[in-house]
Amino acid sequence: MTAAQTLFVLVGALALEATFGYPDWIYRRIGHPVSWIGHLIAFLDNRLNKEADSADARRNAGILALVILLIVSGLLAWILEQIFDHVLFGSFFIAVITSTMIASRSLYDHVAAVARALDQYGLDNARDAVGRIVGRNPQTLDQHGVARAAIESLAENASDGIVAPVFWFAIFGLPGLVVYKAVNTADSMIGHRTPRHEAFGWASARLDDVLNLPASRLTALLLTIASFVTPGASAAGALEAITRDAAKHRSPNAGWPESATAGALGLKLNGPKVYGDRHVEDAYMGDGRRDATAEDIRAALRLTTTAWGIMVGLLLVIAITLRV
């Protein structure tokens, strides 16, 4: 595909995903492409991650597992792209595959469900809803903590689940997208500082950080631009929070979209958290209110969907310009 065709396919994929998401009837029959990647990661973890080995040996095994994952996922994606490049309606099929690896519809629905639960069904239901999208212990959260957690998850996943896949597809086509999703999935499965995975998942976690560097900054930029046209949002607040707080986050990437969202909406996000029985100290993003509400979740959704719209518009402009 030419660069212009790649971007048009990408816009089509974004439209498909926003409209249909990933249909449940398909998931029930064949699962999800990311779950297929997950099966390979689990297989490599079971075969290569030996508890009796030293930390160095397990780290080397994790590097080998990552190399295998990159080769398998990248090669399969390249073969698919080559096949569809030479068949009728091939671009449509590539757009369909691409749409399955973008998560705007799913993310919006899950975050909106938290706001709805806070408004209509009470704190326990809201904790259950937010527990589906965050790793921390939701039982430790009051209603304001639930709202903050939902907004933080929206901001971080706008980068990981939407902008990053778009970026890597735009640069390297379907292989770039699939390789990114493979690394991101590996990070979520084995990139944890647990006795089993701290050494084995080290390479996956570090590569995921590297691959998310451009998208996290682009997401913060898109959110800041969106703040100019989103009622109640402050672009100046977003810029101030980014420059002051983004680098303070324990993640090299999550602080960028989180600080942009916090500053734009006049909130104070992040800070200390509880993951299971583990208490984690982290820097605050923004210097506004801590008492976030369901309405703040809806404001964050408006801001984020505006940013997505700006991104799609920019992709279309670039694609048309390249084609002229």
* % of the chain exceeding 70 in pLDDT: 98
Asked whether the predicted pLDDT for residue 135 surpasses 90, the reply is: no
Is 80 exceeded by the pLDDT of residue 109?
yes
Q: Are 180 and 164 in contact (CB under 8 A)?
A: yes
Nearest-5° Cα angle at 277, 272 to 279:
20
Condensed to tens digits (0 to 9), the pLDDT of residues 263-307 reads 999 999 998 877 766 777 789 999 999 999 999 999 999 999 999
Does residue 30 or residue 2 have the better pLDDT?
A: 2
Question: Measured between alpha carbons, how far is residue 107 from residues 34, 87, 186 in Å?
Answer: 15, 33, 20
Give me the residue spans of the domains in the chain: 3-323
Contact 272, 232 (CB under 8 A): no
pLDDT at 185 over 90: yes
pLDDT in tens, 87-107: 989 999 999 999 999 999 999
CA distance 155 to 168: 19
Percent of the chain with pLDDT over 90: 87
Report the mean per-residue pLDDT for the chain: 94
Query: What's the predicted TM-score (pTM) here?
Result: 0.94
139-184 confidence digits (pLDDT tens): 889 999 999 999 999 999 999 999 999 999 999 999 999 999 999 9
**What is d(CA 169, CA 122) in angstroms, rounded to the nearest whole number?**
40
pLDDT band at 136 (very low <50, low <70, confident <90, very high): confident
pLDDT at 212 over 80: yes
pLDDT for residue 273: 78
